[in-house]
Structure 1
């Protein structure tokens, strides 16, 4: 089941480890204070007031070229690599070295899945034989109703078609889970890839056609020009879909209807059969885009059945390519990683085995990761940080000049109702029913997919479990969930450079506190601000206050839309507005939280020649430093609600007088905006 309705934010980072795990552990538990920012990262040929990213991170970028296995390389990726290829690797090795693992235990599942991924001899020997039961069902399709039945069954194991279901809390009754329906089925991920006429995007489409042809050739399928046929069909589907900017509007995409009326929206594609094959039973569904359903029904009816079967075979083959013989796996990497993101080299099978195990059994691994790498005292410290941010946010609300007192009162109510989760879940889900065998990679993946699907379906019509986590503890990320009105910080990100218990406060406030502030601000960004303190999609603003807010966000949208990240590719300010507002708010909250923490104390002494104000901004720039391939940057601009790393660093700073004062930037500096051009929201 797809889960595309929660608002998550992205972070990033990691350095290649050379020390042993034991030495690493000693370093982590050390109480010796460290600078927290290496001077080697600087490039003083740049001026801080003209290009802060290049000044702070220019040296780091030269010393840290993108590894061949990556499409971008920065704090998130480096820390993610460390968490997986050092820490999780060590945990998995300890488990695989154990003898007599009990069947159904987490240790048995982890060890045997890891082994099944490494067992390339069996994978090669089996070829595409594991797909045969599904291929036979696709081949037997004689009507649109048959297609609905087969694609419904395929949805249970993660194979996409032109629409899909997801289960989340009801946006207008957040305590109860409900079924959602949404658009799906584009291999290139976003409709702009099917519409843009620039040479680089045209090349992606051309390579996609070759990719499909190659994959069908490996499988022995004899269809003429399959790549061309699939691209033409997906292009027609793309034209019917909402843009990624339109999908950001929770009001527009909330269309609650009875399941009986829902079925009438696509009468030729049997939605009842599609749902039945997924074991879905419900009286209600929230439809993302009613015109799309009607139009895609007409498209399916007008499309030759042979084309629809070809498309379904493609989705099946593409979805499982990474678990098939080397020829499929290598070609899948060539297109989706090299062509679309500029990654030159595939990770080793052993490294991919770790990541695949983490992808399927992330929570059982997370339980062991948390125990080993997240001390209880860190949980307490982060809780204190969160409360500090909450306090400062309240003070900021009181000082707003564009918001009325009545809306401020509701904002305070929502802020007070914020809850948070830190590190890892208080209770762990039981995965023991998943059958995992050491010599059946494909069946293991299917078993895990069916388990996840069943877990999702059983929630329909039930109360939301607010203790549930939507990220594993080892994930280098954080998120705000508007339906729970909660912020969540996994243990994976609560490590250097984001949180460094041995660094001074300024570095940590510019890092993890700005991240915490970022997530808090998501509750009040263009989307989060539409949800009340109980997590319901409900207006709590006066009309004039909402107008004032929209004017400010429009100004910020226009500002980012003027930034060209690549020749011919400008940032989509409307797509990135939520993350950009959260960055601006997070920085502001963190700065004043740091200032508040220093009141009544002696002025902190400079470190390496930088005062505490400057070090705050060094901490901010450090967590976002990144080298990125042009292909990955192009993909990000078209599909990602986050601005490129350089612009996440530099973008908000000209709007902060605090930055100008910290670095003594003159009025003519490139990183300074006139007072009238600055945007101050929270």
Structure 2
């Protein structure tokens, strides 16, 4: 789904800003180093190779991030177990407990079976013509079932002070267009497995539709034909295409736009159509495909969306297919799935109880102090650039100064008053209520001023984010603990950890996508032509560098796909290093465990990416993820920094010293 433009660290397990009694203090354990390898030859192996990571059967990867994410999950689970067992006097906490309790009540889920889905399945079967399918399609969307294209609210990229309706490509079951078009042996085999997966799900439903897997795959392949690739979706200008209602009728004349827009329940004077060719193609398919095909596709999208709330036989079938892309050997335990589901359903409510039970409130102040230093380092860096003209530099500084920051937890959590969750309700019904609530909440934003301080995920989540439309950085409490931050750790470790993350998110404002938005979040070219050319040459260096990295077998990173994250890693670590150099500890140059402050800084950065990943997961990430693999995030970044070479006495010709270093900031 092409959601509103967000630039973030991957949803890797990172850790929370927790100071629970059993939370480890952050330090650089010398035993984690592999001293059989020179830091100048393979810094990733040197920094992380001393600790071996065994991937648990239920995971596709395991490392320092994942260990900390699990610790967060355990903390959240403890709170949710209490709320489920003994309902709180707080209405919101009661809903959280009821939702989690329904998820954990596997016996009731088995007893309920597919009964909660029956009304919708019957409605799909009752469709008589295209008009009926379009009406049912709108109802599926209103219920949070992504079908055909996506409709959602977003800021107007040319006028971010207003929220508009947006349409984007969607409706595919496989990760992206490439999975339907590539002809290599593994992709062909995956499509065959997908066909069998769909067939099995229909069989479990008791649905006698003939060859549903082949039908769904054939239809989605045609739908993918009008889709853009992940690289193409990185171009914000190409995805900004305002349409009036009359324009929509010209673009897709067979679709009843008047009826569809009336079903949305909002006033629209127009919408942004991210990928017009996709909407045109979808309209043509609705006119050419048999009604039976459309109904089979609609039922499949409903099944795929709701499988997590269905009985075990459905979940196991879905896992058997998903494991072909993740490599996981067994299902995650139900408690983990229910913690994740509850957090996704009511992120601010779960974040609130997480913060109340686990988080030391002093931490927010400490990290905000680091933010001051690193933001100052960014401004100084921009001022000193020798390749940027004064006019562009002034605008860049204005943008850096205007960045809004949200730290640890939301001051104004979202209101769940209208979300109806009650104890004893079937889990599938609760899930449907959450989906409908979220769709309605999203659509209600249209025509109103944007809520710039609204959080996009729970405070317990291990992530960080930059939004170019808001020109805003966000650091939830979930990322503010070891290995990223610890008030008891030395500055080198903190600046190499959370400092690099802060710098990363700030730099996203100036990566290949972020640089196209100005200080107010407006999509417009604020660069002098010579500066834009200089930037593109420097960015191409990063693209070429990551194209050279082989993830597995002969599959390389897609340089154009990962350039934004790679640029942010390089800029973020560079900026954090400069901020660190102003600390008393850096100036004192005192060694700890035989390591200089600079060495500890870089080792802290390297060790946050420690871990192992399954081959299947590597392939999936190379095809879909704008974030490079951890190994290449580490060596790709430090090999461009002369400060790293100095810290470890690396010489020209060493593997960790690039002959032509990429340098932007």
When the two structures are superposed, what TM-score results if normalisation uses the length of structure 2?
Answer: 0.96
Q: For residues 235 and 358 of structure 1, do their structure 2 counterparts lie closer, same or farther at Cα, with a shift above 3 Å needed?
A: same
1:295 aligns with 2:278: no
Which residue of 1 is the match for residue 427 of structure 2?
A: 441
Instruction: Give runs of aligned pairs for residues 188-203 of structure 1, distance below 5 A.
Output: 188-203=174-189
Q: 1:228 to 1:11 in 2, by over 3 A?
A: closer
Q: What displacement does 1:481 show?
A: 1.1
1:345 match: secondary structure = coil
1:351 to 336, 341, 357: 336
- Determine the structure 2 residue equivalent to 1:90: 78
Provide the alpha-carbon RMSD of the alignment: 1.9
Please, which of 635, 639, 647 is the counterpart of residue 654 of structure 1? 639
The Cα shift of 1:14 comes to 6.0
Give the structure 1 partner of residue 43 of structure 2. Answer: 52
Contact 1:12 1:79 in 2 (8 A): no
Equivalent position of 2:9 in the other structure: 9
Pairing 1:12-411 to 2, within 5 Å after superposition: 12-13=12-13, 25-26=20-21, 36-60=27-51, 62=52, 64-84=53-73, 86-98=74-86, 101-102=88-89, 105-336=91-322, 338-411=323-396
- Structure 1 residues 213 and 4 mapped into 2: Cα distance closer, same or farther (>3 Å)? farther
Structure 1: 4+ residue segments shifted above 6 A: none
2:658 is aligned with 1:681: no
3-state DSSP of counterpart to 2:582: helix
1:422 to 399, 402, 407: 407
Shift of 1:542: 0.5
CA 1:467 to 1:657, structure 2 compared with 1: closer, same or farther past 3 Å?
Answer: same
* Unaligned 5+ runs, structure 1: none
Pairwise CA distance, 1:273: 2.8
Secondary structure, aligned partner of 2:55: coil
Q: CA deviation at 1:471?
A: 1.5
1-side partners of 2:132 and 2:437: how far apart? 25
- The C-alpha deviation readout for 1:583-640, integer Å capped at 9, x for no partner, is 00001001111112248x7523211111111111100011111211111111111111
The partner residue of 1:585 within 568, 571, 590 is: 571
Q: Report if the CA contact (8 A) 2:15-2:483 is conserved.
A: no
- Residue aligned with 1:277, SS: helix
Q: Counterparts in 2 of 1:382-531, with a 5 A limit?
A: 382-439=367-424, 440-531=426-517
Once the two structures are superposed, what CA deviation does each residue of 1:273-293 show, in whole Å capped at 9, x if it has no partner? 333333243111001112222
Q: In the TM superposition, what is the alpha-carbon distance from 1:122 to its structure 2 partner?
A: 2.2
Q: CA 1:602/1:314 → structure 2, altered by over 3 Å: closer, same or farther?
A: closer
Once the two structures are superposed, what CA deviation does each residue of 1:416-458 show, in whole Å capped at 9, x if it has no partner? 1111010001112221322213331111111111111111111
Q: Secondary structure of the equivalent of 2:264?
A: coil
Which consecutive residues of structure 2, in runs of 5 or more, have no partner in the other structure?
A: none
Q: Would you say the 8 A contact 1:510–1:620 is kept in 2?
A: yes
**Contact 1:144–1:268, Cα closer than 8 Å, also in 2:** no
- For the 8 Å contact 2:465–2:475, the answer to whether it is kept is yes
Q: Is the 8 A contact 2:130 2:291 kept in 1?
A: yes
C-alpha change, 1:393 and 1:180, in structure 2 (3 Å) is same
Q: 1:30-54, CA deviations, whole angstroms, 9 ceiling, x for partnerless residues?
A: 9xxx671112212222221111111
Matches within 5 A, 1:637-652: 637-652=622-637
Query: In the TM superposition, what is the alpha-carbon distance from 1:188 to its structure 2 partner?
Result: 0.7
- Which of 608, 614, 632 is residue 629 of structure 1 equivalent to? 614
